[in-house]
Amino acid sequence: MKLLQTQLHSRLARPSVCSQQLRASLRVCCSVSSSGNGSSSNGSNSSSTSSVSTAATATAATTTQRSAKQAIDYGVIPAPPSSRQAIWTEQVWGASPSLSRQIFCNRSLNMKQIKAIGFDMDYTLAQYKPDTFELLAHSQTVDKLVTAFGYPPELYDFKFDWRYMMRGLIIDKTRGNVIKVDRHKYVKVAYHGFRCLSSEERNAVYNHSAVRDDYEEPAYGMIDTLFSLAEAYLFMQLVELVDKAPGKLPNFSGYAGVYRDVRAAVDLCHRDGSLKRHVAANPSKYIHDDPHLVSMLQMYKRSGRQLFLATNSLWDYTHVVMNYLCGKRVGKAKNDEWLRMFDVVVVGCGKPGFFSERRPLFAVSTRDGALHNTDNGAPIIPLGEEDLPDDILGRGSTMSQLDLGEDDKAAVFQGGNYVDLHQMLGVRAGSEVLYVGDHIYGDILRSKKSLGWRTMLVVPELEQELAVAEATRATQFELKMLRNARSDLDTQIQRLEWAFKQREIPPEALLQNQEQLALLRAEREAVKDRHSRLLLEHHQAFHPIWGQLLKTGYQNSRYGHQIDRFACLYTSHVANLAFYSPDRAYGGRVDYMAHEDVMGLEGMQN
């Protein structure tokens, strides 16, 4: 028994069983804050760690400066590349594109099995400029609230910061909060108006409740599209206003009523055309030019795929935007040549209902936008008319007989549903269709779950995320080391505490082990403090309010989790398809479990 106590004493008295690299990391942290913690170390420890501490402090300062520099452009939604680069068909030897142009694969997809490729228009083919378009959306919504909903004119004094919001957030309609949750539905960031809730407030409201909420409609509103950023920011402004002076809002009955008014005002902006008129008058002010877009569409058309456009926008606006994108034609210079890029165009399709509900299908006259009834896709001549316009005739007696040849212009329809589209394209299974969109719910989730379509999500913010992540590699490595150090120290401290509690330590070793325990606790506090501060700095390098788009702490954010689950592919810009072979077989990444992460297998190549 005496021998056993002596061996235990010998093991517990050791400074650590950390690796040298891990020990260096925690010694650096401890030396930074040792004076504040009141702990002391022997002379050999102090001398051996002083040079490491100085070097590490300099490294940390450089990392922090780099992070701060990156944070200057927070919230930026990068435009497509302004200068044209050689696309895949123009390269002598096929080469991998740069990181910002890459397409990332969650689920293996062999493009040889894809017969039809579809595109959404708004924020997919057409990338809007947030500093002008979102400002327009904000101002137009404010105007509707004042003129149509009786809100006070002082709303006109609201200033809009288009960089403040990000996708993936959730609006708590009842409490007037905006929250960010991880994939486990744990709320990590919460704001009431523009006031950040403390961790105690946040946990009391969301994380420590008897029943964990699912954070879904109707009690919550999803900020899943770039269209939603302006209305979310306006909601936060109105929460601030109503908290200061609730009597200023008409018939105020709670934050949910304010949110309902904002949504109704946004819908009114779309219905009365106030937003679209501004864009139509000056497309270049609101829409980015993408020099690779037309080349990409032509390349996939030549590859033998059927191309279709499926957008919720109606014909008049679609015609304006696509003319600008495909030829910078505006005003009277517009024509329907852009229809040669596609085989079928469906406007006003009403996604996500398009993927599950049966709706009437109308043929659209490209001359004047008039709608014509169809019988299983074939146009019907109404009573009193001898014939239909030329652009409606000649489409065949049924959808399966539509002439969708490469040299012909696409047939244009409104409404209908996926069954009509499948018949037009001649596809037998949803797995033969790849659909590219920007809305995780309206474009990606429903089409994948309901139809089995293969999906690609366009995430313009990804380009900025990749740039910051690349610039902060050293910070990410240090964070990993600090996490390991905290775990190692916890293990040592808990073993000593257990030994004291169970009276396993002989009396003659008590003092030495008490000193060791105090030292380890001081080291743990220093490591914890350094880790917490560095993690905050790291997230603020991406966005000073909300952090990383696809992460919340160390977990995938709700938005990142949805991308992982429902998007077969994802990329920063739709035209990145131009840098890959139309027949490419995209290989999914290897999935790793926690034990494989510990073993280091996550670093292995696919």
pLDDT tens for 455-488 read 999 999 999 999 999 999 999 999 999 999 999 9
pLDDT at 171 over 90: yes
443 is in an annotated binding site: no
Active site residues: 120, 122
Reported pTM? 0.83
* pLDDT of amino acid 376: 62
Comparing 67-71, 279-283, 317-321, 326-330, the range with the smallest average pLDDT is 67-71
User: What DSSP element (H or E) covers 321?
Assistant: helix 315-327
| Cα distance between residue 118 and residue 198, in whole Å | 45
> In this structure, are 175 and 311 located in the same domain?
no
Q: Could you tell me if 323 and 335 are in contact, meaning their C-beta atoms sit under 8 angstroms apart?
A: yes
Tokens, residue 401: 């007989």
Residue 88, pLDDT score: 81
429 with 392, same domain: the answer is: yes
Identify which of 458, 460, 469, 459 has the alpha carbon closest to the alpha carbon of residue 542. Answer: 469
User: Per-residue pLDDT for 255 more than 60?
Assistant: yes
Token readout for 497 is: 């505490």
At 198, is the pLDDT very low, low, confident or very high (cuts 50, 70, 90)?
very high
Query: Is 192 in the same domain as 261?
Result: yes
> 402 and 374: one domain?
yes
Q: Is 497 helix (H, G, I), strand (E, B) or coil?
A: helix
In a domain, 506, yes or no: no
Percent of the chain with pLDDT over 70: 81
Q: How far is CA 568 from CA 113, 125, 547, in A?
A: 14, 18, 25
Question: Are 279 and 321 spatial neighbours (Cβ–Cβ below 8 Å)?
Answer: yes
Full domain range(s) for residue 150: 130-283
Kindly tell me if the per-residue pLDDT of 4 is higher than 70.
no
Residue finishing a domain among 438, 458, 478:
458
- Identify whether residues 416 and 360 lie together within a single domain: yes
CA–CA gap between residue 155 and residue 238 (Å, rounded): 9
pLDDT confidence bin for 386, thresholds 50/70/90: low
Final residue belonging to a domain, choices 238, 254, 283: 283
Inter-residue contact 288 to 80 (CB < 8 Å) = yes
Q: Rounded to whole angstroms, how far apart are CA atoms 276 and 374?
A: 28
Residue 80 has pLDDT above 90, yes or no: no
**Domain closes at, from 283, 309, 329:** 283
pLDDT higher for 58 or 339?
339
Please state, in angstroms and as integers, the Cα–Cα distance from residue 144 to each residue in 16, 225, 269, 273, 277, following that order.
Answer: 66, 21, 7, 12, 15
Contacts of 37 (CB under 8 A, 6+ apart): 30, 522, 525, 526
How does pLDDT run across 37-77, given as a tens digit for each residue? 433 333 333 333 333 333 344 344 444 434 434 444 556 67
My answer on whether 424 and 305 are in the same domain is yes
- Sheet with 569-571, side-by-side order of all strands: 103-105, 569-571, 454-458, 433-437, 116-119, 306-310, 344-347, 411-415, 361-364, 371-375, 378-379
Q: How confident is the model at residue 381 (pLDDT cuts 50, 70, 90)?
A: low
Is pLDDT above 90 for 19? no
**Does the annotation flag 122 for ligand binding?**
yes
Confidence of residue 35 (pLDDT cuts 50, 70, 90): very low
CA–CA dist 216, 445 (Å, integer): 15
Q: Are residues 442 and 304 in the same domain?
A: yes
120 marked ligand binding residue: yes
Do 445 and 334 share a structural domain? Answer: yes
CB 455 within 8 A of CB 566: yes
- Closest to 9 (Cα-Cα) out of 366, 443, 495: 495
User: What DSSP element (H or E) covers 362?
Assistant: strand 361-364
> Which tokens is 370 given?
């008039």
Residue 96, both tokens: 């991998």
HSE-CB of 395 using CA atoms within 13 angstroms: 27
Query: Which domain CATH number covers 92?
Result: 3.40.50.1000
387 pLDDT tier (thresholds 50, 70, 90): low
Check residue 130 and give its pLDDT.
92
Q: Is 355 found in the same domain as 233?
A: no
| pLDDT given at position 391 | 55
End-to-end CA distance of the chain: 53
Confidence of residue 408 (pLDDT cuts 50, 70, 90): confident
| Residue range 535-581, pLDDT digits in tens | 999 999 999 999 999 999 889 999 999 999 999 999 999 999 999 99
CA-CA-CA-CA torsion for 159, 165, 170, 171, nearest 10 degrees? 0
Count of structural domains within the chain = 2
Does residue 191 lie within any of the structural domains? yes
Q: Given the DSSP bridges, would you call strands 433-437 and 454-458 parallel, antiparallel or unpaired?
A: parallel
| Pair 117, 174 in one domain | no
- Mean pLDDT value of segment 12-25: 44
